Every structure is written in C-alpha cells, then in structure tokens.
Structure 1
Amino acid sequence: MIDYDEIASNYSKHRDIHPKVLEGLISSENIKKGSNVLEVGCGTGNYITAICQTVGASSYGIDPSEEMLKKARARTGEVLFKKEKAENLDFEDCFDLIFSVDVIHHLDSPSQYFEKAYESLNKDGKICTVTDSEWIIENREPLSKYFPETIEADLERYPKIDELKTCMAEVGFTEIQGNVVEQTKQITDLQAYREKTFSVLHLITDEAYEEGITRMKKDLMKGPIRRISRYFLLWGTKK
C-alpha cells in the first residue's frame, strides 16, 4: 500500500506537467473562460492550476490525500480543492470537463467513478482519462529499461484501455475515442528515481530497485539518459 501523504513532498518536487497532456486538455472546446473544470486525483495541483491560470476556467480539484492537497493549496488560491475519493463524487450537472491524470489505476472501482462522473457532467460535457496503455507500460524509457520488474507490476494494476471504454459506454458515454501524446527529455539527475517519485518503484523489491539505480548511475556517467514520456488520452461525451 502506497502512502501518498508520506510521498507528497517528493511528488511536489519532481512530478511536473506533461506539456502535450496539458495541450490536449486545453484544446478541448469544453475548456474556456467561465467553464467549470474538475480534476479528479489532482495530487499537488499541477494540471488544474495550469488550466486555471492559462484559460481562466472555474477550477476544482479533489484528492484523498490531505498532504497532497496542502501542497496544492500552497500553489494557488484560485482553485477550490477538496479531500474526496473519485468514487464518491457528489455533484449533478455541474462540470463541462472532468479529467484525471495517472489516477484510474489507483481507484477501487473505475466503473463507479465513471457513473459518478457522468452524473456530475453537464449535457455535452466531456471526460478525459489520461492513463497508460499496455504498450506504453511495456515500452517506457527509462522505467521499463532499468526496472523491468515495473512492467508486470503496472500491467497488473492498470485497467486495459478496452475495459475502460466498455465501462464508459455502459454508463452512457458516447464519442469514446483516444490518442497518444509523447515527449522526449534528457535525464541528467537521478533524484526523482532515488526518492521513488514514480509510485511503481514502491511495488518492486528493494533488490530490483537497487540494481536499476546502479545501472542508471553507470549510464549517466556516460551522458544524459533519454526519457520518453507517453500518455493515452481517453475521451468520452455525455449526450
């Protein structure tokens, strides 16, 4: 069990915005000044804060970790943050867009979340689930390369894209479609990996983790390590 209150400080330091994900969210016609936007599992508030500041949307964030929310509230006073689980959304016809980033695999019941999200959206409102497909998990750089044990760990906990599509259709979402975004960066510092900022590093053995870090250190001495960050954006509409 990962304690997100315990790792909130590391998340705040090392987890940043994927520019292509933000671009994809902002390009939705459901985000504009005055729109009501909710981020589910907002963590330290990176994305919803950026949307609020960039677009001027009325912005809200929920997360079950109080320590994560403390970091989010320290970031901005323009977003309303609340401690709540995704499956317990209690709104009706409130939002133009509900989105989550790297959250769906943490939920006890994705289907219950989709039901609550559907009820919480306005007519023609959209939902976007930013997650990892099986292919993305298997081809991560550098995680899958240096910590191959993370592949099995994440394949077990991430819902398959087809399963998510089925759940969405069953509760009434239409126009269900998805696309992959990608960004390449160079890693010159291993601090985020040393502090296990990526939750799956808490799910492999200490031995596997230490072996991976050792390999990364050796390769980093030769030059920067390539990081390819990919996400699958899964969209649906309430008609």
Structure 2
Amino acid sequence: MTIDYDQIAGEYAQHRRAYPQLVEHLASLVPPGGTVAEIGCGTANHLRGIAALVECTAVGLDPHARMLEVAASAEAGDRATYVRGTAEDLSVLGIPAGGADLVFSVDMVHYLDDPGVYAAQAWERLRPGGWFCTATDSEWIIRNRLPMTAYFPGTIPLELARHHAIEALEEAYRAAGFTDPGTRVFGEEGTLADATRFRDKANSVMHLLPEDEWRSGLERLEADLARGPVPSNNRTCLLTVRKPL
C-alpha cells in the first residue's frame, strides 16, 4: 500500500511533535550563521525548532507539496525555506557543495531503498567536519513501543520489514566516507489518555495494517482508556556520523 502524505498532511501536523531534546542536540551542532538541511522534513517540526534556537540558514526538503505548505504556514515557518525534492538528489536544496554544517532526517530513511545514495548526496553538500544525522527506529524501539505493540501487534513485523537496521545504516554511511558513528536514544515515557492519534492513523504504519486489525485494536484501546490512561512511550534512535576534517 502506498501512503498519500499529501492527503494526510493535516492529521500528521496535528499529532506529530518534535522531540525537544533531539531539537536541542541538533541545534548544538549548527554554528551561529551556519546552514542546516532537513531531508524528508514533512511539516518540518524539527527544522523549525532548530531555526528558533540558532541563527542559521535552514532548508527543508520533502517530495510532498502539501506537507511543505503546512510547514510554511506553521508558526516560525518563515524561518526556513522549503524545496520539493527527494533524498536522492540534494542539489535542489540550493546549498553549494561543501556548504552545509548539518544534514539530518527524522523518520525518513526507512523510505529509501538504498540509504547509501542519500549518504553520498549528503557527503557532497556537507563541509569538512559537518554532521550527518539520522533519527530512525531501532529494532528495540519497534518491539517496545507502547501502546502500539500492545493493541496493534501487527505493526511490529510491518515496521521491522520497512526499517533499515542501525548497523546496516552505519555500514552504508562508512562506505560513503563518514566517520565517528554514534547512537543516542531520545524520547519520553508516560501515559496516554486519548485514542485520537490512533483513530486518525497518525503513525504511517497504521495505514498499512489490515482494516480489521486496526478496528479491533482501536476498540480494545478505547475500552481500556475508558477505565483510565495506559502506558505510552515515544522514542527515536539518532545515528550521528561526521565528514572528516
């Protein structure tokens, strides 16, 4: 099944939020007056957050026009520019070769058949010493996501099938020339009191579930929520590499 992100851009913007500590960490990698690009930015929550923390040239790239429209119309949306395109050709960013301090993506790399192509493109845009960062789901995160796995266990094999292993991404990035790989998990744990995000299928994998599985899981979740909040978490694994000086 192909997900039409132009069609779900409104729901996506309503339910998706930036990881605050991830925004702070990424912003710390951008020098004042530097240049940062978010690839597959969607509604650009993280890019706009970075631009609010550090004075920089910020460019967001996404293949979906409606996502970019929502990004540009959001508060602080005018602190960045937005370009329609794909990770396989970063020349459309308008950033000269060697001109970027940070190229990053959040929940995007699993859509790429060959992350190595993307890594080579990022290498071309980055200055020596620049950072290439990928926030994605590790196997551990996928298997321990709540309340998703408790009510929609069919999402586990779907997510494992479409996500690249962290080790495979490291290998592809090393092959492109990047060094100093490191990983760090960002996110939070808490409780969920409302099923709206699951009713609206705010997580893209929900659109891949068979309709009967989605409805069954939603009914069980709503029944439990009627008795009180349920455990919840929201995590991402950041893989960071660097272009050598």
TM-score (norm 2): 0.94
Identity of aligned residues (%): 38
Match of residue 84 from structure 1: 85
Distance (Å, rounded) in 2 between the aligned partners of 1:185 and 1:82: 36
Kindly provide the amino acid, as one letter, of the partner of residue 105 in structure 1. H
Matched, 1:230 2:235: yes
Distance (Å, rounded) in 1 between the aligned partners of 2:31 and 2:98: 17
Q: Which runs of 5+ in 2 are unaligned?
A: none
Q: CA-to-partner distance for each residue in 1:63-118, whole Å, 9 max, x for gaps? A: 00000000011022120100010111115112000110010001232110001001
Match of residue 12 from structure 2: 11
Matched, 1:181 2:186: yes
Match of residue 49 from structure 1: 48
Q: CA RMSD in A?
A: 1.1
Match of residue 66 from structure 2: 67
Matched, 1:117 2:117: no
Kindly provide the amino acid, as one letter, of the partner of residue 202 in structure 2. T
Q: Which runs of 5+ in 1 are unaligned?
A: none
Moved over 3 A (4+): none
Give the 3-state SS of the residue equivalent to 1:87 in structure 2: coil
Kindly provide the amino acid, as one letter, of the partner of residue 18 in structure 1. Y
- The answer to whether the 8 Å contact 1:33/1:58 transfers is no
Q: CA deviation at 1:151?
A: 0.2
Q: CA deviation at 1:140?
A: 0.5
- The answer to whether the 8 Å contact 1:174/1:236 transfers is yes
Matched, 1:34 2:33: yes
Match of residue 169 from structure 1: 174
- The answer to whether the 8 Å contact 1:87/1:109 transfers is no
Distance (Å, rounded) in 1 between the aligned partners of 2:51 and 2:31: 10
TM-score (norm 1): 0.96
Q: CA deviation at 1:182?
A: 2.9
Give the 3-state SS of the residue equivalent to 1:180 in structure 2: strand
- The answer to whether the 8 Å contact 2:123/2:243 transfers is yes
Q: CA deviation at 1:230?
A: 1.3
Match of residue 97 from structure 1: 102
Distance (Å, rounded) in 2 between the aligned partners of 1:237 and 1:83: 26
Q: CA deviation at 1:138?
A: 0.7
Q: Note the 1:199-218 alignment, pairs <5 A.
A: 199-218=204-223
Distance (Å, rounded) in 1 between the aligned partners of 2:230 and 2:22: 22
Q: CA-to-partner distance for each residue in 1:37-63, whole Å, 9 max, x for gaps? A: 100111011111111011122111000
